[in-house]
Chain A
């Protein structure tokens, strides 16, 4: 056997191309995105068939929800800033970015709780109420999962697990966090904005 089938050495571990774990996160996000698409499909389907006002008590207030949306977007930016830090080998910047993203995410959840208690309708008050609490509840659960991921990544970051070359967990948790934020924009546009348009 003298010829070689591939005339180069193959590195151990992922240095070019995408790791299997990266793809796993991509397809997890894809199926989760489909789930939200079907939840919002249900919202628009029942809304289009509704014979009473949709929402029943008039369009939902933007006083808390709009600032809260901005908080979530800033949280995403903070995460991305931290991730860029570790890509340059800057662990302190990673930890700062993760911490800011975590705190803003937590604030979002707390404001969501206030938003829930402010609504004049409950989850059993007709289809709108049921959908509102189910969809925002689903989203809130995803935010909590994102926060738990963030917490894990923070613990690992504190232990010095991540390097400039090897920080797949940071990337994957970040993809999930950005997904949770982008999905919120769709949820917000559907539940809060769309009833104002028609």
Chain B
């Protein structure tokens, strides 16, 4: 039984038929192909990036000069709140999940994620929750209390519109999407790896997304609890945050930041993982200190749970508490520094080829260090008291989030788009793209540190000329527009490459990881045979020989083109969590409409709850139950054995 036939054409045709989604509307709505879902995630998240960016640019026009009244204070409140919410929740995490969704099974040598229909559900609910939160903006009642929605301003007596109801329900809705996605990633990394792809051979990108997923599972419920409280307090006059009735506004701050700080790592660790993939490819050598980078990724995720109070230093907490959280915040720089030195050492010891992805990766390292330094200083309580709620913090958060998220993301697009579309992006335009973004970013956001030190509070809709903040703000606005032009160049480059880009072939960068093994774009079944992995960089084994990291010479080399075809149905291997021993052949689900219908039912419930249309909420709830029953109804499975 244990023979492996050379690949003939017959199974490939059968694989195509088995794995391809049906054409037409049914296929569009029912597909569970991780590559389609990944691309949808990426496109949707970039649209949210552009929307959030436009919101920021409108604010920058307002702030370019003193005493501007283009926007009313209420409009400004809604804009900065929507900008923050959009970027933090509907762009930064989903974009990384888009990459993970697309790349993971290819990198892991699998044919799909562990829960393909859950994967579809996570996309549809992400989209539906985005439509829901932007409904608020369309009816002029968008969240208006900042992305962290502090009580008591968020409460009904001070904020009687639907604004913060949309906030509470929209975030709960998105949390459902993010949670099921995280469970899908964890299930995938535990079960869906190519035989031999043991934990010590996993790409750092996988470690990043895995750590972020674990963090999401344990941190997101804090936000859910807070938002449920907020909704109940607003709609039903219950008391959680109202000090007069035994509640506490600080309870909201705790719940929010117990999520909020791990969230920062949720939206940067996968991005740091992407950089750990790009730098070795373009420096032509394996990552230096792989085990330390992997462990520091996990350590960052863990320590990230113990630092949330550093967002609350100015709220009058006991000194002991502040000392503890200040110490933890200093501590978290250690794993970050380990990763930074590993990247620098890889570049130092390698032979850098300065293609666009490496420019973005290197730019990221620079911005990460600057953002890290402005973070470390605010971990010191006395300094934090000076700059809290000023533009210094705004500068810090943007260095961290644009530096560690947007720069790696654009770099990753340049890196992986050839795999997704089969065509290269333009290098010249790519370099213009990078330098415009890099210069625009620093021009825009570095002066914000100064505005903060000059005392400019964040979230003011305008400022008097006598404040002396005019010049730094004008520079910031110019920089912001330059940065936006950089992002626009990326979008242009993408559309140009779709039509005119050079064909990529399977491995245009001569990279070492598995996702470059198959043609570009990959066929619906990913791998004609399930590969067997014997090292960390299976495609570099010819060049590195027994020096390939993770290889055990006695085991031999990886098998990429020869292995089990598993062409009898939608099948792939289920493997053991640590060593990735193949344990069973899993029969993967077919396309299904239930994820889409379930997301629609959830959207109906959310609208019912926000507009107090209880019949609609109940109808949606019944619909959700019906979808779940249909989804879970047992399928009749084949039995047997596969060699």
Chain A residues engaging chain B, CB cutoff 8 angstroms: 1, 3-20, 23-24, 27-28, 30-32, 34-35, 37-39, 41-42, 45-46, 49-52, 123-124, 126-131, 133-134, 148, 152, 156, 161, 169
On whether A10 and B582 interact (CB within 8 A), knowing A23-B190, A28-B183, the answer reads yes
State whether B183 touches A1 (Cβ < 8 A).
no
Q: How many A-B residue pairs have CB under 8 A?
A: 176
> What is the interface of chain B mostly: helix, strand, loop, or mixed?
mixed
Question: How far apart sit A185 and B67, CA to CA, in the bound complex (Å)?
Answer: 59
Query: Which of A12, A31, A127 is in CB contact (< 8 Å) with B584?
Result: A12
State whether A12 touches B585 (Cβ < 8 A).
yes
Question: How far apart sit A128 and B240, CA to CA, in the bound complex (Å)?
Answer: 9
B220 on the interface (CB 8 Å rule)? yes
Question: How far apart sit A148 and B217, CA to CA, in the bound complex (Å)?
Answer: 24
State whether B641 touches A11 (Cβ < 8 A).
yes
Question: How far apart sit A7 and B4, CA to CA, in the bound complex (Å)?
Answer: 10
Question: How far apart sit A7 and B564, CA to CA, in the bound complex (Å)?
Answer: 12
Question: How far apart sit A17 and B576, CA to CA, in the bound complex (Å)?
Answer: 7
Question: How far apart sit A35 and B190, CA to CA, in the bound complex (Å)?
Answer: 23
Question: How far apart sit A46 and B241, CA to CA, in the bound complex (Å)?
Answer: 9
On whether A12 and B222 interact (CB within 8 A), knowing A4-B2, A161-B634, the answer reads no
Q: List 18 contacting pairs A-B, 8 Å CB cutoff, sorted by A.
A: A1-B562, A11-B584, A12-B639, A13-B587, A17-B574, A17-B583, A23-B114, A23-B191, A27-B217, A31-B220, A32-B221, A34-B221, A42-B225, A124-B236, A127-B239, A127-B247, A128-B246, A130-B233
Question: Within the complex, what minimum Cβ distance (angstroms) separates A24 from chain B?
Answer: 6
B254 on the interface (CB 8 Å rule)? yes
Nearest 10 CB-CB pairings of A with B: A127-B246, A35-B221, A130-B238, A17-B583, A38-B225, A34-B221, A9-B1, A5-B532, A20-B114, A27-B183
Chain B 618-643 interface 0/1 with A at a Cβ cutoff of 8 Å (1 = within): 00000001000100101001111111
State whether A152 touches B632 (Cβ < 8 A).
yes
With a CB–CB cut-off of 8 A, which chain B residues contact A9?
A: 1-2, 641-643
Query: Which of B5, B228, B246, B584 is in CB contact (< 8 Å) with A17?
Result: B584
Question: How far apart sit A71 and B186, CA to CA, in the bound complex (Å)?
Answer: 35
Chain B residues engaging chain A, CB cutoff 8 angstroms: 1-6, 114-115, 118, 179, 182-183, 186-187, 190-192, 195-196, 217-222, 224-226, 228-229, 232-233, 236-240, 245-248, 251, 254-255, 258, 532, 556, 559, 562-564, 571, 573-574, 576, 581-587, 625, 629, 632, 634, 637-643
State whether B240 touches A131 (Cβ < 8 A).
yes
| Closest residue of A by beta carbon distance from B186 | A27
With a CB–CB cut-off of 8 A, which chain B residues contact A49?
A: 248
State whether A6 touches B191 (Cβ < 8 A).
no
Question: How far apart sit A24 and B418, CA to CA, in the bound complex (Å)?
Answer: 33
Question: How far apart sit A162 and B115, CA to CA, in the bound complex (Å)?
Answer: 22
| Closest residue of A by beta carbon distance from B247 | A127
On whether A13 and B2 interact (CB within 8 A), knowing A31-B221, A127-B246, the answer reads no
State whether A123 touches B236 (Cβ < 8 A).
yes
With a CB–CB cut-off of 8 A, which chain A residues contact B6?
A: 1
On whether A23 and B637 interact (CB within 8 A), knowing A9-B642, A127-B240, A148-B625, the answer reads no
Question: How far apart sit A122 and B629, CA to CA, in the bound complex (Å)?
Answer: 35
With a CB–CB cut-off of 8 A, which chain B residues contact A34?
A: 217-222
With a CB–CB cut-off of 8 A, which chain A residues contact B222?
A: 34, 38
Question: Within the complex, what minimum Cβ distance (angstroms) separates A106 from chain B?
Answer: 17
Question: Within the complex, what minimum Cβ distance (angstroms) separates B292 from chain A?
Answer: 27
With a CB–CB cut-off of 8 A, which chain A residues contact B629?
A: 152
Query: Which of B217, B573, B576 is in CB contact (< 8 Å) with A30?
Result: B217
